[in-house]
């Protein structure tokens, strides 16, 4: 009791009583809270000790991304799920400092169709749904026939992107034209605008609709595919992200495809893994671009079908021969 | 040399079909042998490589299920291919011909030997000869190293090969070396492969269109051509030998096909103006309707009076 309190108490006994009782109450409360917090802390501590003891018994070996083997308590494991928003932004942005370019050497293509199969496998497409297709070409009656793989040309002036009303298809800084199946409304304007017929429409439930259910949508792979939306060649953006060559390029058994970065002035053959000077390759072989007169500025170059080392065979006949 | 050349020419003229049928391997490459003995381990490694790189055309050895190409690729387990000696198979796999691609830049020489080891496992009569490693005789116990430096004066890259042992360091002369530059998906050769001189030096001309990063740096890798003799001794160095390249984003310009923020200015203005005019007109109509209503009020109150 301080002096002030004593002075106060001499003034009025009632006030004194109130003060006295409130002090008693206060002390009581402090006591209860103190006891409760001690008990709580004890409980939390014992819980912690229990958890600690429990997880000591069950640890799991986990391999981290940088190849370290670490032990992690089993109860602290969480399933890894990539952040969809981050994936989307990354997919829209593209890879900095790159300018992808593809060269297709028509003198080597003999319609093995391994590029087509690899692509369909990667993007979960049916045998009659194409991101890349090998066409049988013949300009006129007296000129020779040849096979021509035709992926999306990833134009620098893409008409498909200009006409998209919902910003579903877009161009990235590394030159790739992608489509976001989550945004696509299936109006098919882009199919009408594309002079290369490089786009396909999912009229029916996609091939792997059941298997891909619940999978996180990857804008750089177009998987899971969605019914009622457009799908197209992506230059295998997911593989480029890992520094690997596109699916079609590495699947070709005949060395048809070269792929690389225009900024480095070098392209690598998918079959022989030979890296060559891009400008020299284009100049020496008289490269051209499909329908360049349209001003679409394709990023895919073709080397003309000269000095071919095989006879042209119609695809069906050839497949029949392989079967029998 | 000239007589030899004419002899070859004569053979070519006399039997024009010979060069089309027979696959001639240069005499100095024929005798090439593996530096390691073939065993189960090399066979297994070879089988893996075969299934990735060869099976699509040659099929499974012993099953004769190769692709019906012209000329036929053939089954590696048969006499036709097995009658080649090791050096010949090695040469044909690495160089390729016609529809058979070259695997020189796909597989290392050790990997090709592993494939040969796998193919030989189908040949019961085969007895392997192993090449004695030359390295041990030429530079016993020495560590072979390569040093590269860039000379900006005449834009050449100078390579120095030396064998360093505990006692001394001697230059590696008469060895073929190649220079490669790291690119996104592979290694780009710089100039032709060169042979080191008596001082162990070799000079490579840097092409004018060699692109570097924003600072002009390139990662240069020097290697010996003959990996069998020198092992895979290599040296990776960052050199300031390339052109400076400042990458430009392909979506930097304003264009119809770009995103909304990068739309052409005239489109943004025209669209904005269009929206304003349309809404302005609607607003005008509403105002007029209100005026009509007010006039009606006045007229009806006049009538009541």
What is the pLDDT, as a whole number, of residue B232? Answer: 62
In chain B, the residue whose alpha carbon lies closest to the alpha carbon of A172 is B251
Mean pLDDT across A32-42: 81
Q: How far is B262 from chain A (nearest CA, A)?
A: 12
The pLDDT assigned to B97 comes to 86
Is the confidence at residue B14, as pLDDT, over 60? no
Neighbours of A189 (CB within 10 A): 18
Evaluate if residue A86 carries a pLDDT over 70: yes
Task: Please give the pLDDT value at position A56.
Answer: 58
pLDDT digits (tens, 9 = 90+) for B242-265: 999 999 999 999 999 998 889 999
Retrieve residue B75's tokens.
């089954």
- Pick the more confident residue, A115 or A75: A115
- For B190-234, write each residue's pLDDT tens digit: 999 898 898 989 999 999 999 999 999 999 999 888 766 776 667
Choose among B185, B209, B259: nearest Cβ to A268.
Answer: B185
Residue B211 at interface with chain A, using a CB cutoff of 8 Å: yes
Confirm or reject contact between B204 and chain A (CB < 8 A).
Answer: no
Q: Are A238 and A218 in contact (CB under 8 A)?
A: yes
Is the sign of the CA dihedral B248, B252, B253, B259 positive or negative? positive
Interface test with A, best of B70, B184, B208, B214 (most A CBs within 10 A): B184
B249 in contact with chain A, both atoms CB, cutoff 8 A: yes
A261–B105 CB contact, under 8 Å: no
Cα–Cα distance between A156 and A231 in angstroms, integer? Answer: 19
Task: Give dist(CA B151, CA B129) in Å, integer.
Answer: 45
- pLDDT category of residue B127 using cuts at 50, 70 and 90: confident
For residues A100 and A153, what is the distance between their CA atoms, to the nearest angstrom?
Answer: 11
Nearest-by-Cβ selection for A275 from B70, B187, B249: B187
C-alpha A35/C-alpha B78 separation (Å) is 90
**CA atoms of A79 and A295, how far apart (whole Å):** 48
pTM of the model: 0.73
Q: Convert the pLDDT of each residue in A128-155 to its tens digit.
A: 999 999 999 988 888 889 999 999 999 9
Q: Which residues of A touch B178 (CB under 8 A)?
A: none
State the Cα–Cα distance between residues A295 and A316, nearest whole angstrom: 35
E strand or H helix at A277, and its extent? strand A275-277
* B250 in contact with chain A, both atoms CB, cutoff 8 A: yes
Closest CB to A273: pick one of B184, B186, B211: B186
Contact A112, A271 (CB under 8 A): no
Chain-chain contact of B105 with A273 (C-beta, under 8 angstroms): yes
d(CA A154, CA B257): 12
Separation CA A149–CA A234 (nearest Å): 15
Q: Looking at the partner chain, which of A114, A159, A243 has a beta carbon nearest the beta carbon of B184?
A: A243
Q: How far apart are CA B286 and CA B305, in angstroms?
A: 29
Contact A322 B68 (CB under 8 A): yes
Mutation site, A237, A275, A297, A298, interface B, largest B CB count within 10 A: A275
Mean pLDDT over residues A196-201, rounded? 96
CB contact under 8 A, B209 and A265: yes
Q: Which residues contact A148 (CB under 8 A, 6 or more apart)?
A: A104, A106, A109, A134, A135, A136, A137, A302
- SS3 at position A227: coil
What tokens appear for A90 in the block?
């990354």
* A:B CB pairs within 8 Å: 108
pLDDT for A228 equals: 96
Q: Does B246 reach chain A within 8 Å, measured CB to CB?
A: no
| Phi and psi, residue A180, nearest 5° | -100, 105
Mean pLDDT of chain A: 87
């Amino acid at each position: 009791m301080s002096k002030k309190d004593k002075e106060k108490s001499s003034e009025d006994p009632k006030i004194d009583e109130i003060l006295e009782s409130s002090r008693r109450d206060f002390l009581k409360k402090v006591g209860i809270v103190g006891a409760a917090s001690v008990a709580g802390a004890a409980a939390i501590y014992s819980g912690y000790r229990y958890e600690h003891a429990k997880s000591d018994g069950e640890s799991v070996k986990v391999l981290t991304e940088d190849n370290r083997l670490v032990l992690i308590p089993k109860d602290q494991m969480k399933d890894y799920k990539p952040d969809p928003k981050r994936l989307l932004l990354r997919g829209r942005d593209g890879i900095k400092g790159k300018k992808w370019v593809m060269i297709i050497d028509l003198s080597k293509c003999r319609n093995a169709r391994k590029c087509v199969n690899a692509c369909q496998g990667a993007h979960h497409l049916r045998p009659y749904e194409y991101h890349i297709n090998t066409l049988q070409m013949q300009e006129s009656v007296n000129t020779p026939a040849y096979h021509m793989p035709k992926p999306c040309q990833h134009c620098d002036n893409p008409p498909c992107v200009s006409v998209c009303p919902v910003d579903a298809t877009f161009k990235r800084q590394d030159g790739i034209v992608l489509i976001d199946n989550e945004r696509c409304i299936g109006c098919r304007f882009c199919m009408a605008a594309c002079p290369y017929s490089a786009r396909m429409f999912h009229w029916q439930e996609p091939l792997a609709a059941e298997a891909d259910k619940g999978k996180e949508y990857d804008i750089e792979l177009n998987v899971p595919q969605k019914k009622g939306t457009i799908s197209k060649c992506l230059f295998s953006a997911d593989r480029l992200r890992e520094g690997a060559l596109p699916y079609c390029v590495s699947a070709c058994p005949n060395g048809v495809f070269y792929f690389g970065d225009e900024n480095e002035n070098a392209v690598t053959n998918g079959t022989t893994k030979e890296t060559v000077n891009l400008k020299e390759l284009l100049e020496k072989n008289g490269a051209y671009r499909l329908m360049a007169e349209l001003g679409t500025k394709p990023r895919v170059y073709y080397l003309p079908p000269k000095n071919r080392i095989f006879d042209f065979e119609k695809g069906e006949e050839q497949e029949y021969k392989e079967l029998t | 040399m000239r007589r030899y050349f004419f002899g070859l020419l004569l053979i070519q003229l006399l039997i024009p079909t010979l060069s089309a049928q027979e696959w001639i391997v240069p005499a100095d490459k024929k005798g090439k042998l593996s530096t390691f003995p073939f065993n189960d381990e090399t066979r297994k490694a070879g089988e893996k490589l075969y299934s990735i790189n060869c099976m699509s055309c040659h099929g499974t050895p012993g099953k004769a299920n190769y692709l019906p190409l012209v000329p036929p690729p053939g089954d590696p387990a048969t006499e036709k291919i097995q009658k080649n000696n090791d050096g010949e198979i090695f040469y044909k796999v690495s160089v390729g011909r016609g529809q058979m691609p070259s695997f020189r830049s796909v597989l290392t020489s050790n990997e090709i030997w592993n494939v040969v080891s796998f193919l030989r496992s189908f040949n019961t009569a085969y007895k392997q000869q192993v090449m004695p490693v030359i390295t041990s005789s030429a530079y016993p116990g020495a560590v072979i190293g390569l040093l590269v430096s860039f000379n900006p004066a005449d834009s050449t890259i100078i390579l120095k090969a030396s064998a360093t042992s505990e006692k001394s360091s001697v230059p590696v002369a008469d060895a073929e070396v190649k220079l490669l530059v790291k690119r996104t998906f592979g290694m780009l050769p710089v100039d032709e492969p060169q042979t080191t001189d008596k001082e162990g030096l070799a000079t490579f001309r840097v092409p004018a269109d060699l692109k570097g990063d924003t600072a002009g740096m390139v990662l240069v890798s020097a290697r010996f051509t003959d990996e069998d003799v020198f092992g895979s001794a290599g040296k990776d160095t960052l050199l300031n030998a390339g052109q400076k390249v400042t990458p430009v984003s392909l979506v930097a310009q304003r264009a119809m096909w770009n995103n909304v923020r990068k739309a052409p200015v005239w489109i943004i203005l025209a669209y904005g103006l269009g929206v304003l005019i349309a809404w302005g007109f609607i607003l005008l109509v509403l105002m007029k309707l209100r005026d009509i209503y007010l006039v009606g009020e006045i007229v009806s109150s006049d009538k009541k009076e």
